[in-house]
Amino acid sequence: MKRILCVAVFVVCSFCSGIPLRAQSPCSDTLVRVNDSVCEGMQYDFNGRILTSSGYYYDTLPRVGTECDSVVILRLSVLEYPFATPGSRIQCVPPVGYKLMVYDDGNGMFFHWTSTPMDSSLIGQEHLSNIFVTPKVPTVYEVDVDYRATPQCPSSGRIELKPVKTVVAQMYVSPDHLSYDHLELEVEDYSISYRGMDNDFWCGRNWYLNDVKQQSADVHTVFPIKPWMEGDSVVVKMVAFTADCADSAIKVVPFRRVALYMPNAFTPGVEPNATFQPVVQGILQYELWIYDRRGTLVYHTTDQSPWDGTHNGRPCPAATYVYKCRYKDIDTPAGFQTLSGTLTLIR
């Protein structure tokens, strides 16, 4: 009632003095919104209240010189410490090195990488979550992760990496083709490897023939091959490996489709060389003559029949004989080829 009276007097006086009338504005509170954060395990002092959990908090503060208040609404976030354990993955194909990564939750984290000793391949990647490095010596990489550039909830991690030990698989394989009279493969590991500066390099290998792993893993070895039971060719593969990387080399060794193998001796009636019979493969037309040392023809065939060591039904004596063969094969069907040599009849 007293406040109304004063206003009434004021209105009368103003009217009498000729001063313009003004209506006094009603008092209103001021609303203040605050967003803030603390790290997990820390405390937040909100006007004397100790807060440790995320949420919305309210407080009313009197405004000096006025009967109105300020209402403060605090949105508090309690932040977990960032994940700062770096992971690594070896990259064996050029460029050879390590891919390093730290979990990034997509909230715009800040990263800072350092290395001891200094790795020049790190330059330009210091603030990325994923980097690629090529250490030349054992190197420690350390990363600091935070929610902002200035320290807020700093977290750090480290990882030690050694130079990547790579290998380039190379091998020697002989011969270039297989035939009935040459049924073995000689192989040797010529791989080129990187020796780390810590001198703990070790390299191994595995041999495969037509995708079948062989028992021998020697640097140099010889593999026997079964004739024409492996298909048209033998695929030789060597997988060379270090503690970090592996590489493979492959060579296809074909079987000769044409083979004409003449034995150099036989013993009539005694197995397993009881007759003289060439081994043929891919022959279209064939004719064989056998002569004694006087030039007498003792045997002739056009159908690859074996010679039993007789002539006109009588046993031929133990001696050295001369053979001559004429044939066409599937590789050269248009013309004849000839083959001659000696054989020994043993009794």
Whether residues 276 and 201 fall in one domain: no
Domain range enclosing 51: 2-79
Boundary-marking domain end, from 127, 161, 195? 161
Whether residues 135 and 107 fall in one domain: yes
Whether residues 37 and 73 fall in one domain: yes
Whether residues 59 and 95 fall in one domain: no
Q: Comparing 45-54, 209-218, 250-259, 318-327, which segment has the lowest mean pLDDT?
A: 250-259
Whether residues 291 and 331 fall in one domain: yes
Whether residues 156 and 229 fall in one domain: no
pTM of the entire predicted model? 0.59
Tell me the average pLDDT across 274-295. 90
pLDDT exceeds 70 at position 269: yes
Closest CA relative to residue 347, chosen from 287, 290, 270: 270
User: For the chain, what's the residue count?
Assistant: 347
pLDDT exceeds 90 at position 121: yes
CA–CA separation, 248 and 95 (whole Å) = 18
Q: What percent of the chain has pLDDT over 70?
A: 85
Q: What percent of the chain has pLDDT over 90?
A: 61
- What three-state secondary structure class fits 143? strand
The distance from CA 212 to its chain's CA centroid, rounded to whole angstroms, is: 22
Whether residues 18 and 55 fall in one domain: yes
The encoded tokens of residue 316 equal 């031929």
pLDDT exceeds 60 at position 257: yes
In one letter, which amino acid is 301?
T
Q: Comparing 41-45, 193-197, 297-301, 312-316, which segment has the lowest mean pLDDT?
A: 193-197
Whether residues 180 and 245 fall in one domain: yes
Whether residues 228 and 268 fall in one domain: no
Secondary structure of 227-273 in the HEC alphabet?
CCCCCCEEEEEEEEECCCCEEEEEEEEEECCCEEECCCEECCCCCCC
Whether residues 250 and 265 fall in one domain: no
Whether residues 199 and 130 fall in one domain: no
227 and 268 Cβ atoms separated by less than 8 Å:
no
Can the peptide bond before residue 138 be classed as cis, meaning omega within 30 degrees of 0? no
Whether residues 266 and 340 fall in one domain: yes
Closest CA relative to residue 156, chosen from 173, 171, 143: 143
- Give the CATH number, domain containing residue 298: 2.60.40.1220
Rounded-to-10 torsion of CA 154, 157, 158, 164: -120
- What three-state secondary structure class fits 7? helix
pLDDT digits (tens, 9 = 90+) for 158-216: 999 999 988 999 999 999 988 776 789 999 999 987 644 444 556 789 999 999 999 99
Q: Residue 323: beta bridge partners?
A: 290, 341
Tell me the average pLDDT across 20-38. 69
Tell me the average pLDDT of the chain.
Answer: 85
Boundary-marking domain end, from 226, 254, 282? 254
Boundary-marking domain end, from 144, 161, 178? 161
Q: Number of structural domains, the chain?
A: 4
In one letter, which amino acid is 80?
E
